[in-house]
Amino acid sequence: MAGIGIVGAGIGGLASAALLARAGHGVTVFDRFEAPRAVGSGLIIQPVGQAVLDLAGAGAAVRALGARIERMVGHEVRHGRCVLDVRYARRGSDSHGLGIHRASLFAALLAAVTAAGAQLRSGAGVLASADSPGGRTLTLASGEVAGPFDLVLDASGVHSPLSPLRGRGLAFGALWATVPWPACDLPKDRLTQRYRRADRMAGILPLGTLPGDATPLAAVFWSLRAADLDRWHQTPLAAWKAEAMAFWPEIGAFLDPIRDPADLSFATYSHGTLRRPFAPRLAILGDAAHRTSPQLGQGANMALLDAAALAQAVATHGPADAPAEYARLRRWHVRAYQAMSAAFTPQYQSDGWLHPTLRDRLFAPLSRVAPVPLLLNRIACGDLIPPIRGAPRQVRTGRSAAAQLRFSQPQTSEITTLPSPTAEATRLTDPARTSPTA
Ligand SMILES: Cc1cc2nc3c(=O)[nH]c(=O)nc-3n(C[C@H](O)[C@H](O)[C@H](O)COP(=O)(O)OP(=O)(O)OC[C@H]3O[C@@H](n4cnc5c(N)ncnc54)[C@H](O)[C@@H]3O)c2cc1C
């Protein structure tokens, strides 16, 4: 067998499969799950990630299900001041984030993969991979040896059996739940967060809807030290809800539907970056290659950008030389965003006073002075530096194909083109199961 084998049917694996199959390659995706599924709550797809979804054929479906996010806003509860306000709007573009449930993103990507003709093998956990002159093989948990393949992509997330990356565990993780959006005054067009110093944080993210169900959803999250998880379990749920509502009264309506600790998932975060995310006929992408906390909201986007870079590398260099080229295309963007994520995380999740004081007294006032708002906009959109060298314009600018078509019309020609941030989640009911989802 020749063609391309992909380990992991998560965000990066499915996007790679759709892009490569659309380019005419024979693609087989292996995942350990028994039936196609996504575990966990939701995330924000940034403009660059949306552009990759367009290229993969999943953009329209994701937009139909997701919630449009215009801003990310955070207040410190002790003094009530706004200490985070990042706007997606940019002159001449309709940049926005998309809050989406993982199951909706998964369904859209899976449909794109199926339409493109890639094969998906479930119940096919991969244990190891070996390269030989005939190609690269995969050893499955069943004992079967699959392949050889011209190229293998490792997109199996934080628990990759093929990646040498071992992340540095972060002290703080978060409890996450998906709930119906309640009747309340909270604006539906933004990620809203509350902080007390950096040792307490809660947030609410609109998620749009699930396929076939028009109920608007929200992700609600509560920052927690991993070391405090056992104590949280011993605390009655009602006492935790009372504590949360004393911290942020408006969160109460979102906590109402949570009746059991098992309604929440605890996500632990780690940080690490592979310096060399490739080997002969093997490219490592997504969380298997670089992982961080979700504070910058870039992990899924990084996996999507990796997928686009990989597809571009295969197109220009062929499968055998694609891994090194892929790493070259993504190197600086990955390093820059990993460094920014590591720098931002302690401002929102850490003990002590230094980071939150800098956030409130220095960075928050600075963030209102030009050109810092534009800088923050570019960081959030994912295109502070070119995400992929030589990428299609829509990926470089984070603009959807549809928006670019609009820009090419004469009446908008005066609009100048502006050049264009891990985790492991443990289901509380099943401490043995880990997954990089929340
Ligand atoms: C709580 C939380 C919030 C987040 N919020 C955001 C956000 O707002 N924006 C954002 O961009 N990112 C966010 N992220 C990060 C984002 O979820 C990840 O970066 C992204 O899912 C990584 O995609 P991936 O394809 O590398 O891995 P995944 O999507 O995790 O997929 C890995 C796949 O590999 C499979 N697999 C694992 N091991 C094997 C094996 N041995 N054999 C076969 N298959 C295997 C798994 O079953 C899974 O399907 C968040 C993460 C968490 C935990």
Q: How does pLDDT run across 292-321, given as a tens digit for each residue?
A: 999 999 999 999 999 999 999 999 999 999
Residue 259 lies in a domain: no
What's the rounded Cα separation, in Å, for the pair 184 and 203?
15
Q: What pLDDT does 90 receive?
A: 79
Q: How far does residue 197's CA lie from ligand 1's centre (Å)?
A: 29
**Average pLDDT score over residue span 312-338:** 97
Residue of 6, 29, 31 best suited for mutating to test ligand 1, as the one with most atoms within 8 Å of CB: 31
β-pair type (71-76, 190-196): parallel
Contact (Cβ atoms closer than 8 angstroms) between residue 179 and residue 220? yes
Residues touching ligand 1 (Cβ under 6 Å) are 7-13, 30-33, 43-44, 125-126, 155-157, 159, 161, 176, 267, 286-288, 294, 297-301, 303, 422-423, 425, 436-438
Residue-level pLDDT at 432 = 29
Q: What pLDDT score does 92 carry?
A: 73
Residues of the domain holding 315: 4-168+270-427
> What's residue 2's pLDDT?
67
pLDDT for 315:
96
| Rounded average pLDDT over 9-37 | 94
Residue 435 has pLDDT above 90, yes or no: no
Q: What is the mean pLDDT of the chain?
A: 89
Residue 382 in any domain: the answer is: yes
**Centre of ligand 1 from the C-alpha of residue 409, in Å:** 38
- How far apart, in Å, are the Cα atoms of 88 and each of 150, 183, 322, 347, 422? 40, 26, 33, 21, 24
Residue 216 domain-assigned (yes or no): no
Task: With respect to residue 186, please indicate whether it lies within any of the assigned structural domains.
Answer: no
Confidence of residue 400 (pLDDT cuts 50, 70, 90): low
The answer to whether the CB of 364 falls within 8 A of the CB of 84 is yes
| CA nearest to 94, candidates 123, 63, 56, 116 | 63
Give residue 288 CA to ligand 1 midpoint distance, Å.
Answer: 9
| Cα 327 to ligand 1 centroid, rounded to whole Å | 19
Q: Which pair of structure tokens corresponds to residue 281? A: 């006929």
33 exposure class (CB count in 10 Å sphere: 0-12, 13-18, 19+): middle
pLDDT at 334 over 90: yes
CB 122 within 8 A of CB 37: no
Between 429 and 344, where is the model more confident? 344
- Encoded tokens for 433: 């199961």
Cβ-count burial 243-279 (b if 16+ within 10 Å, e if not): ebeebbeebebbbeebeebebbbbbbbbbbbbeebbb
Residue 242 CB contacts under 8 Å (≥ 6 apart), including other chains? none
Model pTM above 0.95: no
Atom of ligand 1 nearest to the CA of 13: 25
Contact indicator for 375, 367 with CB cutoff of 8 Å: no
Averaged pLDDT, 29-34: 96
Q: How distant, in Å, are the alpha carbons of 171, 227, 360 from that of 356?
A: 16, 21, 6
Contacts 24+ apart (CB under 8 A), 32-36: 32/123, 32/124, 32/125, 32/126, 32/141, 33/9, 33/122, 33/123, 34/122, 34/123, 35/122, 36/9, 36/106, 36/110, 36/120, 36/122
What is the rounded distance in angstroms from the CA atom of residue 403 to the CA atom of residue 419? 15
Specify the CATH number for the domain of residue 62.
3.50.50.60
Range of weakest confidence among 125-134, 151-160, 347-356, 423-432: 423-432
Whether residue 357 lies inside any domain: the answer is yes
What is the pLDDT at residue 390?
A: 76
Give the residue whose CA is nearest to atom 26 of ligand 1.
Answer: 286
Q: What is the pLDDT of residue 36?
A: 66
For residue 233, is pLDDT > 70? Answer: yes
Please give the structure tokens belonging to residue 278. Answer: 């490739």
Instruction: Quote the CA–CA distance of 395 and 47 in Å, as a whole number.
Output: 8
Q: How many domains does the chain have?
A: 1
Q: Which of 4-8, 376-380, 425-429 has the lowest mean pLDDT?
A: 425-429
57 phi-psi bin (left φ>0, alpha ψ -120 to 50, beta other)? left
| pLDDT > 80? residue 408 | no
pLDDT at 115 over 60: yes
In a domain, 179, yes or no: no
Residue 427 pLDDT? 31
Band of pLDDT at residue 412, cut at 50, 70 and 90: very low
Tell the residue nearest (CA) to atom 38 of ligand 1: 156
Domain assignment present for 260: no
Report phi then psi at 136, rounded to 5. -105, 135
Mean per-residue pLDDT, 223-250: 98
Q: What is the pLDDT at residue 401?
A: 54
pLDDT value of position 395 = 77
In this prediction, residue 316 carries a pLDDT of 96
Is residue 310 assigned to a domain?
Answer: yes
Residue 353, classed as helix, strand or coil, is coil
